Chains A and B, each alone.
Chain A
Amino acid sequence: MAAISTGVHHRSYRSELRLRHANAEHVRLAIAIALLVVLPFLASPFWLTVANQVGIAVVGAIGLNILTGYTGQISLGQGGFLAVGAYTSGLLVARMGVPTGVAVVVAVLTTAAVGAFFGLPALRLKGLYLAIATLASQFIILWVVRNWTVVTGGVDSLVVPRPALGDAVLRTDFAWYWVIGIVAAVCVVVSRNLFRTGIGRAFMAIRDHDIAAEAMGVDVVRYKVLAFALSSGFVGLAGALTAHYRTIVTFERFTLEVSILYLAMIIVGGLGSTLGSILGATFMIVLPALITQAGQSLQGSFLARQLPAIQLGVFGLVIVLFLIFEPRGLARMWQRTKDYFRLWPFRY
């Protein structure tokens, strides 16, 4: 943007609704895509695995952000919904021989339905009561997974065959990178566009003031259930991806800690921002990986033995510090950085 320009002026609704307003945004997007395309050719196997985990986390974080960030409904049941997605998809493929693609779609729909069901308390509860209700759903879902042995295999892990198309088996991290990357990209586009539609606007109206939203003609009951269903659909997709990528499903991967991890992602990234979901998911997955790497280079020392404790402590500290010093997260920091350069040499 030229130094003398004073901002973005819209002359039509079409231009206002555009996702990107300035040329610089297109350039930045192109650079980001180029980097993502080059990444798998340069990354070591360790970081390629991390990148795949980030991709899956981005899908889940986008889902949770739809619910918590945009609609204002806190959920501590994320891990449970991931489990529903992972087990549905995994079981369909492993036990019934359903093609992977179909299984994933069924898993998404199932998780959306389960999410809508557990979202029903949200019709009456708000804030901390809702948090506690969703906490209960987390425990109940995991209990079902552990104890419904006939179907889920209980505490034993479920082995899922690798997805294949003809003779091509999806095996390497390199191949998975493209699959996960494309799925994550589609989710990002869907999420960005969702909040240009009436549904997305209704979600935000409910977050900002539910009674006012009702007065404006938003059907609060319908949209709250819809928000839970949509959000859980994304989460179920993330769960299904985890199941097929890891090829082993165990209940330990879906505990309360996972729910908290996802909440941490969207808080560190920025509530109510798709960019925030991406940045937050990347940050919260890459940070422990970095600590692990650092720990391996210190092999055998005191610090290396304390690695799990350090990871936990850093995790907690990041959440606390972000909430105290930058409650709007990385997305806001990015915005401020851009503003700094745009307005330079002036402060504002």
Chain B
Amino acid sequence: METLIQLTVTGLANGAILALAALGFALVYKATGVINFAQGDFLAVGAWAVFAAIATFGLHWSLALLFGVAVAVILAILVERFVLRPMIGESVIAVIMVTIGLSAVIRSILQMLFGTSPRRLPPVLPGGTVELAGAVVPVNRLVAIAAATVVLGAFTVFFKRSRHGIAMRAVADDQQAALTMGISVRRIFAMAWALAGISAVIGGLLIADIVGVSGEVATFGLIVFPVVILGGLDSIPGTIVGGAVIGLLVQYSAGYVGGGLQQVVPYIVLVLILLVRPYGLFGEIRIERV
């Protein structure tokens, strides 16, 4: 029972972070149709920016978070303007490869600035443990779950209620129709990237607090794919459910089966989903059949 609770809390915490990473991915895909293989590196940029602000400049963590958001937004907008806008109309292969190249460039810059050895962030989330039905659970995981839930909730409301959110959905649905309604598609593209950057900073901060800052942060970007495919590539609620399911699945297979199975389980799920229901649980059924 204690193991179960512990695995569940860890799984949900990882799932929450995954959902934040997947959210940025889904936002960009939904609005601009770009598959961003560099999402993991955006997480890393967020984590390192916050780390630099706290450890090097000695800022309070809330200011550091603002700094991280500023860095991520500027980076995201630059990327949209100078890398992905020239790629409009190119084939899927080209768009995928350009984001892969981008990911290598970002990783190399981070490596030059901060080196390869992992660092520890001065704790931002409350430390310590709390007892939950007999199981000892670290508090920061619970806080991570809560923080991610709040952010994901805020994004959901933003999409459902706010003018900009609705404009983004309109662009995602039909760019030409959105243009005729007076929506600036360019601005929406930039906004989608900026929001993806912001969600990456928050995700990156949570990862940094729990597992430390290193190049490893970027590998979270690859488990994003099982999450978004499971939830549906263009679905915001899908990322939440997908994140939770994958997070839990990894933890349960690590805790109960072991033998390194947890490394491959997300991808087996991925293949199965692709074979049975490629548009995922909540995605729009618009996949091209061959």
Residues of A within 8 A of B (CB): 68, 72, 74, 121-129, 131-133, 135-137, 139-140, 143, 146-147, 210, 220, 256, 260, 263-264, 267, 271, 306, 308-320, 323-324, 327
Determine if B98 is an interface residue (Cβ-Cβ < 8 Å): yes
Selected A-B contacts with CB under 8 Å, 12 pairs: A122-B290, A123-B290, A124-B274, A125-B287, A126-B288, A136-B271, A146-B260, A147-B260, A313-B109, A315-B101, A315-B104, A323-B94
- Residue of chain B at shortest CB distance from A260: B100
**Bound-state Cα–Cα, A98 to B263, Å:** 34
The A-contacting residues of B in range 96-115, CB under 8 angstroms, are: 96-98, 100-109, 111-112
Determine if B264 is an interface residue (Cβ-Cβ < 8 Å): yes
Determine if B257 is an interface residue (Cβ-Cβ < 8 Å): no
**Bound-state Cα–Cα, A306 to B105, Å:** 14
**Does A310 contact B108, Cβ atoms closer than 8 Å?**
yes
Q: Given A136-B268, A316-B106, 9 more contacts at CB 8 Å?
A: A124-B278, A131-B92, A139-B264, A147-B259, A264-B100, A271-B93, A309-B109, A312-B111, A324-B86
**Does A140 contact B267, Cβ atoms closer than 8 Å?**
yes
Which of A123, A126, A313, A323 contacts B97, CB < 8 Å?
Answer: A323
> Chain A residues with Cβ under 8 A from B96's Cβ?
74, 128, 131
**Does A264 contact B101, Cβ atoms closer than 8 Å?**
yes
**Does A327 contact B268, Cβ atoms closer than 8 Å?**
no
- Residue of chain B at shortest CB distance from A68: B93
Total CB contacts across the A-B interface at under 8 A:
138
**Bound-state Cα–Cα, A314 to B105, Å:** 7
**Does B264 contact A309, Cβ atoms closer than 8 Å?**
no
A124-B275, A132-B225, A147-B259 are known contacts. Are A220 and B104 too (CB-CB below 8 A)? no
State how many angstroms separate the Cβ of B28 from the closest Cβ of chain A. 12
By size class, the interface of chain B is 35 or more
Q: Nearest 10 A-B pairs (CB), nearest first?
A: A316-B104, A319-B101, A313-B108, A316-B105, A309-B111, A312-B108, A127-B92, A143-B264, A136-B267, A320-B101
**Bound-state Cα–Cα, A306 to B101, Å:** 19
> Chain A residues with Cβ under 8 A from B222's Cβ?
135, 256
0/1 interface trace, chain B 239-281, chain A, CB 8 Å (1 if under): 0000000000000000000011001100110110011001000
State how many angstroms separate the Cβ of B41 from the closest Cβ of chain A. 10
Determine if B289 is an interface residue (Cβ-Cβ < 8 Å): yes
> Chain B residues with Cβ under 8 A from A320's Cβ?
83, 98, 101-102, 105
**Bound-state Cα–Cα, A263 to B95, Å:** 13
- Residue of chain A at shortest CB distance from B82: A324
**Bound-state Cα–Cα, A267 to B90, Å:** 13
**Does A308 contact B111, Cβ atoms closer than 8 Å?**
yes
